[in-house]
Chains A and B, each alone.
Chain A
Amino acid sequence: MLRAIKWESWQGKLAGYGLLSLVMLLLPVFGISVYYIHILIGVFIYIIMTASLRLVSLSGQISLGHAGFMCAGAYTSAVISKDLGWSPWLTIPLATLLSFILAYLVAIPFTRLRGLYFTMISLFFGMAVLAINEVFQKITGGQSGFVGIPTLFGYSKTPYYYFFFALLAVCLLVMYRIEHSRIGFTWKAIAQSHVIASSTGINENRQRILCFAIGGLFAGLAGATYAHYYVVISTTTFGFFTSIYIFVYMMVGGINSFNGPIVGTTVILLSQVFARSLKEYVPFILAGVLLVFLYLMPQGLTGLAERSRIWLNKLRSRGGEVSGKGISNGAA
């Protein structure tokens, strides 16, 4: 069976993911503090963001405006539910759908560009969303923020914890499935060579639009649910730095592994909690971390794990046949 679309191997990984899920589900039962529940909810939301950014990168497109879709989703859901009085349970799917449509529409001109040029235009898109937000500040509240957003479960944090955990699990499952099916396989082919891909009948432009739009959908979903949990949102939450940060999370975790965004987001956000006194220096530190990772381990933490596993296998089977494959394959 093919390595790149080996959906079946998921069953083998089920044990690992299941165990991790069980621990996460039991955490509130064993009484971790409300503060940590709050932190973990943030981690869940940002894992969705980072994983969807990585989904977009599968087709070779690095977006630096991903937080723009989070912003669109958050404000759409917040404004409709507060000003029109609709239930958040209705506005969240609506905002998700609208983010998808927005991403689809902007992708039509954007995907005409490739590589660095695509990244640049996506960066400007992220900024444009904020600027548009300012223009309509009568509705959105502008820089002073948008307050009084209806909640999903009142003000107790535990239901949110379970809600966001379930949301994260569903999102990751869908993204895993997309990546390990013909859809993701085609995207990976396009990332390697769009000329060859289109010579075999792949409508690469349409596939790249679809890829970008699905990424936008998950970002919009993360933003919409974010708004109903934090209750107050402002443009600073979805600014340029957010787009850059999730990019750093992705690179630290490892861009070639599905687990990369999970590992990267968790490690960085939790270490930020333990180094709260350094809060003002976060941009500098993360920039340094990004540099270190790009130079020393471009495959990220998950790549490191993979490498050490291969190394261990080599030690074990010393003298026998050694397989050195699989370190730097983009399709793993």
Chain B
Amino acid sequence: MALLEIEGLSKHFGGLVAVNEFSMRLEEGQIVGLIGPNGAGKTTIFNLITGVFRPDSGKVMFGGKNITGKSPHAIAALGVARTFQLTPLFADFTTLENVVASCYLYPRSGFWGTLFNTPKYRRNEAAAQAQSLDVLAQVGLKEVENELARNLSHGHQKMLGIARALAVCPRLLMLDEPLGGMNAEEIDFTMDIMQKLRKKGTSILVIEHNMQVLDICEQVVAINFGEKICDGCVADVRNNPEVIKAYLGV
């Protein structure tokens, strides 16, 4: 059984068909790329999966459960974490605080336990913080842990977005253009992290314009004008005439 299964997903904004009858599958432990020209509907698909938008029709199954139309926090609680293309972080928090704030699903002590600062609450918070430091070490942000997120460089901000998503301990990590605006070194580092995560069993769905990312994908889904034009292994998609047409416009 696939980890993520999407069937006949559609979304209209007024007269605009943003996503039309979109279907795809993602097996556990895979990295799947979602590619397509600007405005093709990639981010809309992300928003439909994570519950930011409600689909008009279609079904999203995650781990055998129907998550169509659930609220974002409920979907996150099932183990789906995502990053955002633009403002990817809490700008007024420090790097570490960003990740700790995202450790919300970590064991907690309820309202009264928190209010009275019980030993259990303090243990939970210490554990959340230890885990956050661990995540920061993984993505190489340890040295900027006390910087305000708004003052970080673009590459670091993107990385922090990934760290925030990892704090949720996801089964499925959804990355919205993680390589956008990164330099060559940062791109290599990010792709390296993605591969390490896959080795640990985290599945990844990644939107990207940078075709380098296809090197590490098992499967690629290409869309244009909200419709899937092609789906398959990297070599097939690269040579697909429809994909070439969509990108080159010939």
Contacts and interface: CB of A to CB of B under 8 A. Distances in A.
B210 interface: no
A201 B88 CA distance: 15
Given A3-B94, A198-B71, A177 B81 contact: no
Interface string A309-322: 00000000000000
A189 B73 contact: no
Interface string B88-120: 111111101100111011001001001101000
Contacts of B93: 4, 188-189, 192, 331
Given A2-B96, A331-B92, A200 B148 contact: no
Nearest to B50: A199
Contact of A186 (B101, B121, B165): B101
B101 A329 contact: no
Best-surrounded residue of B90, B97, B125 (most CB of chain A within 10 A) = B90
B138 interface: no
Interface in A1-58: 2-5, 7
A101 interface: no
Contacts of B96: 2
B87 interface: yes
A113 to B, nearest CB: 17
Contacts of A3: 94, 97
B125 A331 contact: no
Best-surrounded residue of A189, A200, A325 (most CB of chain B within 10 A) = A200
Contacts of B91: 192
B105 A201 contact: yes
A331 B91 CA distance: 10
A200 B81 contact: yes
B77 interface: yes
Contacts of A210: 111
A205 B129 CA distance: 25
Interface string B133-149: 00000000000000010
Contacts of A2: 94, 96-97, 100, 129
Contact of A199 (B81, B92, B94, B148): B81
Contact of B92 (A178, A192, A203, A205): A192
The SS class assigned to the A binding surface is helix
A272 interface: no
A199 B117 contact: no
A196 B89 contact: yes
B161 to A, nearest CB: 9
B59 to A, nearest CB: 21
Nearest to A184: B114
A183 interface: yes
A178 B115 contact: yes
B204 interface: no
Interface residues of A, number: 33
A7 B125 CA distance: 12
Given A189-B101, A192-B92, A195-B84, A202 B73 contact: yes
B117 A7 contact: yes
Interface in A177-233: 177-178, 181-183, 185-186, 188-189, 192-193, 195-205, 210
Given A177-B115, A202-B73, A4 B168 contact: no
Contacts of A200: 76, 81, 101-102, 104-105, 164-165, 167-168
Nearest to A325: B148
A287 interface: no
Contacts of B101: 185-186, 189, 197, 200
A324 to B, nearest CB: 10
Interface string B198-217: 00000000000000000000
Contacts of B155: none
A197 B102 CA distance: 7
Contacts of A7: 117
B73 A203 contact: yes
Contacts of A292: none
A195 to B, nearest CB: 7
Contact of B114 (A182, A188, A325, A330): A182
Best-surrounded residue of A4, A183, A330 (most CB of chain B within 10 A) = A4
A174 interface: yes
A199 B129 contact: no
16 contacts: A3-B97, A4-B97, A5-B100, A5-B125, A174-B115, A181-B115, A182-B121, A183-B115, A188-B92, A189-B93, A189-B101, A196-B87, A199-B72, A200-B101, A325-B148, A331-B93
Interface of B: 50, 52, 71-73, 76-77, 81-82, 84, 87-94, 96-97, 100-102, 104-105, 108, 111, 114-115, 117, 121, 125, 129, 148, 164-165, 167-168
Given A182-B108, A188-B93, 5 more contacts: A2-B96, A5-B125, A199-B81, A200-B105, A330-B92
Interface of A: 2-5, 7, 174, 177-178, 181-183, 185-186, 188-189, 192-193, 195-205, 210, 325, 329-331
